[in-house]
Copies of this chain bind each other. A is one copy, B any other.
Amino acid sequence: MSKILTEVLRANRNYRSDFDKADLPMPPGRQFAILTCMDARLDPAKYAGLAEGDAHVIRNAGGRASDDAIRSLVISYKLLGTREWFVIHHTDCGMETFTSEIMTELLNSSLKTASVDADGWHDCCEGPGSTEGKYINWLTIKDQAISVTEDVIRIKSHPLVPSDIPVYGYIYDVKTGGLIEVPTATEAGQAT
């Protein structure tokens, strides 16, 4: 068992040992959702003050309003009753450090094409590369205020999103822990 797996299971035993959240209902108690980045430095429960049971948290590379994030938000609204949403990108995001072309080239030059041996998963790590990266939109970011605004507008404009849901746009500052409003996005997000 790897060191990480051992540590995660040990931490989970500690969490479980004094767990007192068995009776929380499925719908988020505070009826809101946050879409934010997967970045390791971000802890939405801490930076936005969430306890278990409070709010849906959707995270991907960049905190982007991908089709999958829209899927999650529509389920969040329609089946589980959230009525306000936040889009929170952040400073010093990895998504600013590359372009789709760079990612495609990296993958083309060094990442293994998947292969499975007769006896199971192939255990080699790097190979001749794969051109599959060309077929993925990596949703990179050039400017956080623009990406937040674009994502709020995309969510608000989506045919499956009710137009009366406020969508607040913010940037999390990894140097201060603070949330900075993106006014254009937030104005677009507030119901008129």
Contact = CB atoms under 8 A, between A and B. Distances in A.
Interface of A: 2, 4-5, 7-16, 19, 21-22, 24, 26-33, 38-43, 45-50, 52-61, 66-72, 74-76, 78-80, 84, 86, 92, 94-95, 97-98, 103, 106-107, 111-117, 119-126, 130, 132-133, 136-139, 156-164, 166, 168, 174-179, 188, 191-192
B176 A19 contact: yes
A157 B116 contact: yes
Task: Give the 6 A-B residue pairs with the shortest CB-CB distance, closest first.
Answer: A11-B49, A19-B177, A68-B68, A28-B40, A61-B72, A125-B164
Contacts of A72: 38, 60-61
Which one of A55, A74, A130 has the greatest number of beta carbons of chain B within 10 Å? A74
A47 B19 CA distance: 10
A97 B107 CA distance: 38
A141 B28 CA distance: 19
Contact of A159 (B92, B113, B160): B113
A162 B126 contact: yes
A44 to B, nearest CB: 9
A158 B53 CA distance: 33
Given A160-B111, A168-B5, A75 B61 contact: yes
B60 A52 contact: no
10 contacts: A5-B168, A15-B49, A21-B41, A24-B41, A40-B57, A43-B50, A60-B72, A74-B111, A116-B157, A132-B159
